[in-house]
């Protein structure tokens, strides 16, 4: 493995690991706050126990996410000095704002965890809300920086140097709205369905546990709304990509020829050597309409661009298909949940429905990972789109494969620790007699 591939693999591994904790940090506090609010309004003890259980989960994920986030910060400088040399002065602002949001999140989480019966109940509740809002703000600021890599702005690039830097224009670049909106909804969708799936699994073992039932319902409300909204945000994002990065759109669709009235390809295997995509199902004119709002609009194919500027087409295309497939399934399940909640509440605890929710547990995170592959691999060979290639930014230090091996071990260990800690929390809930048909439940 050469050093460029090892550095890219290390960054990919770190992002793939950290993004799960970032999504949870953006969503779990919101679930916690809703449960806390229900406890304050109804006085039901089950919501208090649920709030405390979720808050411990938030603390666990926050601690591990802080470790992986810190590692990512170091990796940016260590692995990509060429990038940081120029980008640091341009896009440093959202990272500094992200740091501020992180500190607010940490302080408010401390207040929430240790504020029980010590501070006013509404101030206590508000501190939990701030944990969620600052977590979302952190995510938005980081995605702003990534959006800049896809839509560089706020500087003039002259003779390999950045001049006339405007950090606000850089941060609020052309891609920041579509990317942050899509990512925020994805985070809520993925985490909410994962939480619902865990509680559905526990309900399959103990159907009478009222805490798991209420937890699953709260999480599914978040997940269903997000999953149904996500296709709209995806459409907005796709139109933005079509406008700014037509080569990425072509790779996402596995489209080699420029066509008017281009079809949307579902599935299929792109072959860069033959410049064809086989086995896909084509919906006539759909890609033109989805990209430009016109059934006969021209969509550029990969053949319009120099081959050395192509991203890895097969990976980008398959990742896009996986993301859309998972999102479609979750949206359908979300619609079914809302229908049951409206008309058939007795079916919410039906075994088959619980099994479906359990099977959905990983789908949101699979979609998130696939979406980031589309974003990052689809931008290659550029680290700053149209400005700097990834190969120009990588560190000249040899031996990057050892770095990759080290981080693989660290993330594996952190995964085991997180799983063990969460399993302990779940075991406590399962063994609580009050939650298994008790009077206050």
Phi, psi of 156 (to 5 degrees): -110, 130
Q: What is the pLDDT of residues 367-403, one digit of tens each?
A: 999 999 999 999 999 999 999 999 999 888 888 888 8
Distance in angstroms (rounded) separating the CA atoms of residues 414 and 60: 11
Q: CA 166, CA 427: separation in Å to the nearest integer?
A: 52
Separation CA 188–CA 181 (nearest Å): 11
Q: What is the mean pLDDT of the chain?
A: 91
Residue 184: C-alpha distances to residues 12, 134, 233, 344 (Å): 20, 13, 10, 30
pTM: 0.92
Return the pLDDT at 439.
Answer: 42
Reading the block at residue 70, the tokens are 């810190």
Distance CA 345, CA 428 (A): 28
Both tokens of 45, joined, read 């003890």
pLDDT tier at 421, thresholds 50, 70, 90: confident
Segment 167-196, tens digit of pLDDT: 999 999 999 999 999 999 999 999 999 999
pLDDT computed for residue 3 by the predictor: 84
Q: How many residues does the chain have?
A: 441
Instruction: Read off the pLDDT of residues 273-323 as tens digits, 9 standing for 90 and up.
Output: 999 999 989 999 999 999 998 999 999 999 999 999 999 999 999 999 999
Q: Give the percent of the chain with pLDDT over 90.
A: 72
Say what the pLDDT of residue 354 is. 96
Return the structure tokens found at 326: 């998972």
Whole-number percent of the chain with pLDDT over 70: 97
> For residues 362 and 349, is the Cβ–Cβ distance under 8 A?
no
Q: Report long-range pairs for 58-63 (Cβ below 8 Å, ≥24 apart).
A: 58/24, 58/25, 58/28, 58/29, 58/32, 58/109, 58/131, 59/109, 59/113, 60/418, 60/421, 60/422, 60/425, 61/21, 61/24, 61/25, 61/28, 61/418, 62/21, 62/25, 62/105, 62/106, 62/109
Please enumerate in sequence order all residues whose Cβ is within 8 A of that of 18, keeping only pairs 6 or more positions apart, or say none: 65, 68, 69, 71, 72
Neighbouring CB atoms inside 10 A of 329's CB total 18
The top-scoring range by mean pLDDT among 70-74, 123-127, 155-159 is 123-127
State pLDDT tens for residues 79-119.
999 999 888 889 889 999 999 999 999 999 999 999 998 99
pLDDT band, residue 67 (cuts 50/70/90)? confident
Q: Does residue 437 register a pLDDT over 90? A: no
């Amino acid at each position: 493995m050469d050093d460029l591939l090892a550095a890219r693999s290390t960054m990919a591994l770190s992002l793939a690991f950290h993004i799960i904790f970032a999504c949870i940090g953006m969503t779990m506090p919101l679930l916690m706050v809703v449960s806390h609010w229900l406890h304050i309004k109804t006085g039901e003890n089950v919501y208090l126990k649920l709030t405390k259980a979720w808050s411990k989960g938030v603390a666990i994920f926050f601690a591990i996410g802080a470790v992986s986030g810190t590692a990512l910060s170091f990796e940016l400088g260590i692995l990509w000095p060429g990038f940081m040399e120029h980008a640091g002065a341009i896009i440093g602002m959202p990272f500094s704002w992200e740091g501020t949001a992180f500190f607010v999140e940490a302080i408010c989480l401390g207040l929430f965890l240790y504020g029980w019966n010590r501070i006013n109940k509404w101030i206590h509740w508000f501190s939990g809300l701030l944990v969620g809002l600052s977590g979302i703000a952190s995510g938005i600021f980081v995605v702003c920086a990534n959006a800049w890599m896809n839509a560089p702005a706020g500087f003039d690039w002259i003779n390999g140097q950045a001049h006339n830097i405007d950090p606000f224009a850089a941060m609020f670049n052309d891609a920041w709205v579509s990317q942050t909106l899509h990512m925020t909804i994805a985070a809520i969708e993925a985490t909410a369905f994962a939480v619902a799936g865990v509680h559905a699994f526990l309900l399959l073992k103990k159907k009478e546990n009222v805490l798991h039932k209420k937890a699953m319902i709260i999480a599914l409300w978040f997940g269903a709304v997000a999953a149904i909204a996500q296709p709209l945000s995806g459409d907005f994002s796709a139109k933005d990509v079509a406008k700014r990065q037509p080569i990425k759109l072509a790779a996402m669709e596995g489209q080699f020829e420029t066509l008017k009235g281009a079809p949307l390809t579902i599935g299929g295997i792109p072959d860069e050597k033959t410049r064809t995509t086989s086995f896909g199902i084509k919906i006539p004119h759909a890609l033109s309409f989805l990209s430009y709002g016109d059934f006969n609009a021209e969509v550029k194919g990969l053949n319009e661009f120099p081959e050395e500027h192509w991203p890895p087409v097969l990976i980008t295309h398959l990742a896009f298909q996986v993301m859309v497939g998972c999102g479609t399934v979750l949206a359908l399940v979300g619609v079914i949940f809302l229908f049951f909640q409206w008309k058939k509440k007795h079916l919410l605890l039906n075994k088959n429905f619980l099994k479906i929710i359990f099977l959905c547990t990983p789908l949101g995170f699979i979609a998130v990972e696939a979406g980031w592959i589309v974003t990052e691999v689809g931008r290659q060979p550029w680290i700053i789109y149209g400005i700097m290639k990834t190969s120009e930014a990588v560190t000249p230090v040899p031996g990057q494969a050892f770095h990759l091996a080290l981080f693989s071990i660290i993330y594996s260990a952190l995964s085991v620790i997180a799983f063990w800690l969460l399993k302990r929390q779940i075991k406590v809930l399962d063994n609580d007699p009050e939650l298994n048909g008790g009077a206050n439940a």
